[in-house]
Structures are given as structure tokens and as C-alpha cells.
Amino acid sequence: MIIVTGGAGFIGSAVVWELNRRGIDDILIVDRLGATEKWHNLVNLRYSEYHHKDQFLRDLRHDGLPSGTTAVVHMGACSSTTERDADYLMFNNVHYTRDLARACAAAGVRLVYASSAATYGDGSQGYSDDVATLDRLRPLSIYGYSKHLIDLWMRREGLLDNAVGFKFFNVFGVNEYHKGEMRSMALKAWEQVQEHHHVKLFASHRPGHADGGETRDFLYVKDAAATVARALEVDIPGGIYNLGTGAPRTFKDVVLAVFAALGREPDIDWVAMPVKLRDQYQYYTCAEMEKARAVGLPVPATPLEEAVGDYVRGYLERGRAHLGGEG
């Protein structure tokens, strides 16, 4: 049995979808559905059981991992880069992950967990995923700091031998509709075109950067899920790995790809960046992927325009917001 925490969320549900594609359905999903619409992400998926995240944690602390667990994919965390409740992030992102990592180590079970490119801060220290460089990183947000603390703790406790931590870069694609302001630019742009026929983008706040010229390493969720699934296989060495494409693109590129997928002429309005974002805004990110490539992890390679086209034409324009049942 494979446990997927956050299995009803964006990346977690995509991982379950990918495991299903590989013929795996003995899956325990751990999440908190509450009054959200995340349950829709589960409808087309095959899994054996669902546990609420709080009950799962109580059982984990009392009994350890469920009998028969072969691997754990830990995608369950607060993923909002603008979350300001530090106590919540410390419990939800740090302590929960520590308990799960200890249980996996005790049982000899592989753990794949989500770190983040937000740990790199302003990028002045580069984007190397060598664990020896962790100490010099300075995240710009409490979210990034919570992920950084786990990377440091995993290294300090010697738990990376049989664990894989992925520093996810800017993931976008199907199953993200419920993420509020954390929805990708691709989805927001599509929504704005439907409603207003144009798209709003932040004008640059930094001299020397063109409007819409901020770059990110945009990663299609299908590629991300395939890489996570590969990391469950025992021939992949444990450690921390970047998960991006190694080919940064601009936000303007994303918006232009959406217009192209819709067959429309681009129409962009430039708006001022909110003051609260200016001090923690990353103007450039790019995953160094040499380490992942060297150990046999599939480096995501779907070109941005192709990925946006699949997302827009294959799902959004067809009224399909969820992975599964594509055939």
C-alpha cells in the first residue's frame, strides 16, 4: 500500500492519477476535505481508503505506519506562499512532516516529500540542490522557511538515505481549481479571458525588469507527478532534488500561450504590484536539474506552450477540471 498525504489536493491527486496509470490502486489517501471542493479531485481516481489528516496523525503517533505500507508520498501541507500564520505552518508543515519521516525511517519505508523552490529566497545563493548548500539559503517567506526547516532537519537527522525531498518549482495544471489565489497564472489568465477578454499582469516593480518579464521555472503537473512516481522506485538514491524543467520562462510567455491555445489575439493590462508582495517577490527562478538527471529521474520536458495547450484545450475548454477519465 502507498500512502499519499494531501491526496485530494493539487499535486497529491495528480500523483494518485499517475499511480493509477501505472496500475497501482492500493492507495491510502490522507487529507482534510472539510467544506472545500477538493473532493471532486477524487471522483475519477482509484484508491483503497481515505483518512482524515488529524486522525491519521493520531494513529501514526500511537501505532506507527499502517501494516503493509510500502511507500509514503507526503504532499500534504499548507502550500500558500503568502500564509502569515507562522504557528500554523510550524505545526502543519514542520512537525507533521517530522513525525511522518520518523515513522517511515522506523519502518524502513521510502518517503517522498514536498519541499519548495521558495527555500531559495531571492536566488542570490543560486539554485543548487546540493545539500551542502542548504545552510546559506535565506527564504523570503515563512512558507519557504517552513520547507527549509524540514530540509535542514532531514539532513541533520540522517534521514535522507531512504527519503527523497523535491524542491518543486512553479507547478501548474489540472486539479488546481480549488487553490484560490495560489492558482497558477495559466488558470487565472484563462478565467480572465473568459470573463473580460483580456488579462491583467503585474507591472515590474524593479528597475531593469520589463513588465511581465519576471521568470519562473514553470512545471506541468503531469510531468511533476511522473517524476514523483519514479522516485518511489528503490534505484533512485535518497536526497534532495530540484523538480523543474531547467528552462525558465516569463509570466508574459504563459499568458501568450493561453491566448494562443484559445486562438485569440493577446490583450494584456499592466497593473501595479501590491505593496505586500514586493519584498518577498522572486524575479527569477530556475531549477538546476543535473543532479536529478544523473540518478535517472525523468527531467520534465513538456514545452510550456504544449503544456498550456493541453491544459486549456484538453481540460478547461472542455469543462473538465479534474484528472482521470481522459479516454
Average pLDDT across the chain, whole number: 93
d(CA 221, CA 170): 9
293 within some domain: yes
Domain residue limits at 25: 2-173+217-245+285-302
What's the confidence (pLDDT) of residue 280? 65
The answer on pLDDT for 277 being more than 80 is no
Residues of the chain with pLDDT > 70, as a percent, come to 99
What's the confidence (pLDDT) of residue 41? 94
Nearest CA among 71, 53, 55, 72 for reference residue 63 = 55
29 within some domain: yes
Is 143 among the residues known to form the active site?
yes
Catalytic residue, chosen from 113, 120, 127, 143, is 143
Write out the DSSP string of 96-127. Answer: HHHHHHHHHHHHT-EEEEEEEGGGGTTSTT--
* Residue 280 near residue 143 (C-beta atoms within 8 A): no
Q: Which of 25-34, 208-217, 250-259, 287-296 has the lowest mean pLDDT?
A: 208-217
What's the confidence (pLDDT) of residue 212? 83
Query: For 6-49, how does the pLDDT look when each residue is reduced to its tens digit (9 = 90+)?
Result: 999 999 999 999 999 999 999 999 999 988 889 999 999 999 99
Contacts of 162 (CB under 8 A, 6+ apart): 104, 105, 108, 109, 110, 111, 238
d(CA 66, CA 109): 11
201 within some domain: no
Q: What is the mean pLDDT of residues 44-71?
A: 96
122 within some domain: yes
Catalytic residue, chosen from 50, 53, 179, 200, is 179
Interior CA angle at 78 toward 74 and 80, to 5°?
130
Contacts of 207 (CB under 8 A, 6+ apart): none
Residue 91 is part of a domain; what is its CATH number?
3.40.50.720
Write out the DSSP string of 41-55. Answer: GGTT---SEEEEHHH
Nearest CA among 263, 264, 246, 265 for reference residue 303 = 246
Query: For 77-90, how does the pLDDT look when each residue is reduced to its tens digit (9 = 90+)?
Result: 877 777 788 888 89
**Inter-CA distances, 175 with 93, 117, 166, Å:** 21, 21, 20
What's the confidence (pLDDT) of residue 207? 77
Using CA atoms of 2, 5, 9, 13 in order, give the dihedral in degrees to the nearest 10: 0
Is 179 among the residues known to form the active site?
yes
What phi and psi, each to the nearest 5 degrees, are found at residue 57? Answer: -65, -40
The answer on pLDDT for 275 being more than 90 is no
The answer on pLDDT for 327 being more than 60 is no
Distance of CA 205 to the CA centre of its chain: 26
117 within some domain: yes
Q: How many distinct structural domains can be found in the chain?
A: 1
d(CA 261, CA 264): 8
Q: Which of 142-156, 248-262, 264-278 has the lowest mean pLDDT?
A: 264-278
Query: For 301-316, how does the pLDDT look when each residue is reduced to its tens digit (9 = 90+)?
Result: 899 999 999 999 999 9
Residue 132 has what DSSP assignment? G
Query: For 135-183, how does the pLDDT look when each residue is reduced to its tens digit (9 = 90+)?
Result: 999 999 999 999 999 999 999 999 999 999 999 999 999 999 988 888 9
β-sheet bridge partners, residue 240: 165
278 within some domain: no
326 within some domain: no
Residue 208 has what DSSP assignment? T
Query: For 193-240, how does the pLDDT look when each residue is reduced to its tens digit (9 = 90+)?
Result: 999 999 999 887 777 778 888 899 999 999 999 999 999 998 999 999
186 within some domain: no
